[in-house]
Amino acid sequence: MADAGPSPGDDDPDTEASADPEATSDSDAASAPASGAVIVPVEPSSTLRSTIAHIAEAAATEGASALHLVEIASWRNGDPESDERAAAAERVLERAAAWARADLEDSEAPGAPDVEVVMAVLGADGYLFGADDYVRVLAEYAEANDADRVVLDPEYTPVGNTTLLQPLEFALSNTPLSVETAPVDRPTRRERFRTEATTGRFVALFGLSLAFYLLLGDPTYWFDAVTGVATAAVVSITLSRVSLDSDPAFPRTPMRIVRGLIYVPVLLFEIVKANLVVARVILDPRLPIEPTLNRMRVIVGSGLPLMTLANSITLTPGTLTVRARDSDLYVHSLVPWAREGLFDGPLERWTRFVYYGRRAARLPSPRERDDVAILQGPDATEELPIAAADGGDPGSGVESESSGGAAVEVESSDDSTDADGVTDR
């Protein structure tokens, strides 16, 4: 029996779809492929919560497949305190993920339930220096997870308090990834330089100040004891909130003090030895004087350890720390002997010993890690990075950088030290 086809009264799906343009639009929207995944680099900041709320709502509205919250490691697995820093990163990611899931649940966008929240730590298997390395690991992660967009927190500072947001945006613009900064309100009040006042910091600074005062005076003389207590009290009251960035801990702090006392004669020996070498080179015109600017990537952490190493190098005749930038030390050396000794890394190893113990001192030297470069002279292996980028002469020994709207120039032959400390997270 032949099929007569649908009668005029039967429901014709094609007829209904043609008759209802709104239904056609809804159907096309439902069948459209979801937007790619979104990557959000995460670091503790005053605008992180607002950034998460913004991108969660945007991902739900645009139908993104996943929201990837990533933290780019400023450490390497196996380095001193890497386990503690990795655990801290996991806590930050878990808090951000909890915010994102709560915002997605509260969202009225139809695609909110389909957005997956993923957490990841990137780059912990190697050393990352600067925006280019950060972008490389971000691009590799994006390709592996079908992500097509990166949203940045406007207060994102992946290396302590060294701002990398603008160079990071510039480097990301050279990749297929779409990059944007979350349009959230930034705080109008800058973070105060002072830290929280605690009893531990006050007592520690009081004890150190009193001990130093009595070391210079006579601890058995009552007048020195009284004035020492008064001086230490004034120092502790005025400086305890700016001198220490963390509370002293037992047994870490006493052990660091003991190891620091062991380091003092070692540093004095290096200073005397370098004095003799430099004096001989100056007095004997046949010996070479080859002033060069050198770069050395160090593994000592940031803040006080980095400051200790930079100033130890400066105290040693023949070498001068021109600047500390993230994990890079730019050091001027006067003679080849000083440069070779710098690359062999004895002071770096002793600094790691002071702050992290004997196991950390056994890590490879900068030369063994191939984390060194000569930036001037016939043996130069790299150009001066900032001078070259600004159109300057790579061999001029002058670095210029925009910092807070003002140009900062560092001459390799200058006698001043510019060490921009980086605070531990």
User: Is 122 in the same domain as 208?
Assistant: no
| Residue 273 confidence (pLDDT) | 93
Same domain, 69 and 138: yes
- Domain residues for the domain of 369 are 247-419
pLDDT for residue 423 = 36
Tokens 């113990």, located at residue? 357
In a domain, 343, yes or no: yes
Residue 191 inside a domain? The answer is no
Determine, yes or no, domain membership for 414.
yes
Nearest of 352, 225, 337 to residue 287 by alpha carbon = 337
Task: Give every residue of the chain whose pLDDT is below 50, as ranges.
Answer: 1-34, 160-163, 188-189, 191, 193, 386-425
Question: Residue 424 domain-assigned?
Answer: no
Interior/surface letters 219-233, b for 16+ CB within 10 angstroms, e for the rest: eeeeebbeebeeebe
Q: What is the pLDDT of residue 354?
A: 92
Neighbours of 122 (CB within 10 A): 19
Q: Are residues 265 and 398 in the same domain?
A: yes
CB 134 within 8 A of CB 164: yes
Asked whether 235 and 228 are in contact (CB, 8 A), the reply is: no
| Whole-number pLDDT of residue 98 | 87
Asked whether residue 206 falls in the same domain as residue 223, the answer is yes
Q: Are 237 and 253 members of one domain? A: no
Which are the contacts of 183, defined by CB distance < 8 A and separation ≥ 6? 54
125 and 210 within one domain: no
- How far apart, in whole angstroms, are the C-alpha atoms of residue 203 and residue 57? 48
Q: Pick from 208, 227, 246: which residue ends a domain?
A: 246
270 within domain boundaries: yes
Q: How many structural domains comprise the chain?
A: 3
Q: How far apart are CA 348 and CA 363, in angstroms?
A: 10
User: Are 121 and 206 found together in one domain?
Assistant: no
Domain endpoint, select from 138, 153, 181: 181
Cα atoms in the Cβ-side hemisphere of radius 13 Å centred on 241? 9
CA-CA-CA-CA torsion for 295, 74, 367, 277, nearest 10 degrees? 50
Give the Å distances, CA to CA, from 138 to 62, 161, 171, 172.
22, 20, 11, 9
Looking at the fold, whether 238 and 275 belong to one and the same domain comes out as no
Q: Are residues 59 and 134 in the same domain?
A: yes
In a domain, residue 194? The reply is no
In the prediction, which pLDDT does 32 show? Answer: 37
Whether residue 407 sits in one domain with residue 262: yes
Q: Do 291 and 415 belong to one domain?
A: yes
Read off the pLDDT of residues 90-124 as tens digits, 9 standing for 90 and up. Answer: 888 888 888 888 888 878 888 778 888 899 888 87
Last residue of a domain, one of 181, 213, 231: 181
Task: Kindly state whether residue 193 falls inside one of the protein's structural domains.
Answer: no
pLDDT of the residue at 63: 82
Residues 266 and 354 grouped into a single domain? yes
pTM, entire model: 0.50
State residue 280's pLDDT score: 92
CATH number of the domain bearing residue 149? 3.40.50.620
Tell me if 92 sits within 8 A of 156, measured CB to CB: no
Task: Give residue 315's pLDDT.
Answer: 93
Residue 177 counted as domain residue: yes
Quote the pLDDT of residue 35.
60
